[in-house]
Structure 1
Amino acid sequence: MNIKALVLVFLFVFLLVGCLGGPGELTRIDVQVKSESIDKERHIQDAEKINRIKSIMKEVSWNPNKIYDMSSEEDVKAIFFIDFDKNLPERLFEYKIWWNQSNGSAIIGSSEKEEGYGTLDKEYSEELEKELMEDN
């Protein structure tokens, strides 16, 4: 392969990865709550509420190499719908959330390998729980 062809291939791949790897837009969050007393599903599409949840999720301390052995099923499952390209289907990111009642924090498991499991301190955990559980 000559140098020109190699450079063109490199530029094409670089542009393709750059376009697809952008931040994307969070357009909807589906929340599933299942416990002994509650079994509900809701869809969050309000832009203001989505932005609050998005900012809270930025506070998660991710550790892709840590694996938690959870003794119970998650308290909440949240599915984030992220639109990277208007011409392609949304990408789904699944988060399983366990609220730690003893210290108020949360453990979050991500479907993305780069994130793995993470923790959220008490302040942000309470905010996230409120945003995901309340209907307003």
Structure 2
Amino acid sequence: MRRLLAYGLLLLLAGCNDTMQHSATLEWAVINVKNSAADEIIIHDPKELEDITSYLSKTDWQPNTEPKMATHEDIILSLFIEVEQNMPERINEYQIWFEEDNSMTIMSNVKSEGFGKLQGKFGKPFKELLQQNIMGKDRVIDQHGQIENLELLHQFLKDTDEKRQASLELTRYTIEGAPIYWKVEYQEGQYNIEVDNREDNWGSKNIENYQCDKLTEDVTGSLTDYNFTSCEGGYEINLLSVTSE
């Protein structure tokens, strides 16, 4: 947040209400989440920046409209745009509300945009892109076998091996692309597991809770399965499967 405040004066000097010109380049983006532990999440990846620009371009805008919203925005997305080399970047700021039908309500500080609605077919993947950046900093991500932040799992295993209280968060994506959110708490020799599949149209669309006594590491060739065993109800639950290169 401090960095954004520092850029506040530049926002005024650089003409914050101009839309992106053809020659302008989106250099980086910053996500701010209300009441988040992280001050800001910075996006530099060129593909993600390109996707952000593409999704925003599909928004149905009502210029010079500033309706009063009943709730605070879910996130603030700031785009840092280079219009001319060696000159201050322009900052376009978007307040974004996530709606239940996967659409987005967006308010822009760009006069030619103003107030906008992004349809659900675009809002859903846009939300997923943003949430991956928000949550991906402190959780393991499993996207069809492509694992990010695996070191967090290794630290969790080390802590539990040493009988220390620990927690782990994980997002696994279904074949259809729906995120399943896992939260595991280890305390006094027991694993308390929460699985949130409310965004999976093919699942039970609820939050399920389990208690298990063991987390095993089963290796078969290049595949390592991390499974919870000795669970209430006799369940065996696969937490993650990792293929070594």
Q: TM-score, normalised by structure 1?
A: 0.76
- Structure 2 unaligned segments of length 5 or more: list them: 1-20, 137-245
* Aligned partner letter, 2:24: G
Percent of residue pairs identical: 29
1:66–1:116 Cα contact (<8 Å) kept:
yes
**Secondary structure at 2:81's aligned position in 1?**
strand
* Aligned partner letter, 2:102: G
* Aligned partner letter, 1:66: T
Measure the CA separation in 1 of the matches of 2:76 and 2:65: 20
- Deviation track 1:9-49 (CA, whole Å, cap 9, x = no partner) reads xxxxxxxxxxxx544000100001125xx443200000011
Decide which structure has greater helix share: 1
1:99–1:107 Cα contact (<8 Å) kept:
yes
1:32–1:77 Cα contact (<8 Å) kept:
yes
Alpha carbon RMSD of aligned pairs, Å?
1.8
Measure the CA separation in 2 of the matches of 1:100 and 1:111: 20
- Structure 1 unaligned segments of length 5 or more: list them: 1-20
Q: TM-score, normalised by structure 2?
A: 0.44
The list of structure 1 runs, each at least 4 consecutive aligned residues, that deviate by more than 3 angstroms after superposition, is none
Q: How does 1:57-136 map to 2 (within 5 A)?
A: 57-101=56-100, 103-135=101-133
* Aligned partner letter, 2:90: R
1:22–1:84 Cα contact (<8 Å) kept:
no
Higher relative contact order, structure no. (Cα contacts within 8 Å, ≥ 6 residues apart): 1
* Aligned partner letter, 2:79: F
Structure 1 residues 45, 125: CA separation in 2 closer, same or farther (over 3 Å shift)? same
Q: What is the aligned partner in structure 1 of residue 228 from structure 2?
A: none
Decide which structure has greater strand share: 2
- Deviation track 1:47-94 (CA, whole Å, cap 9, x = no partner) reads 011111111111001101433221111001000000011120111110
Measure the CA separation in 2 of the matches of 1:68 and 1:128: 23
Measure the CA separation in 2 of the matches of 1:23 and 1:110: 21
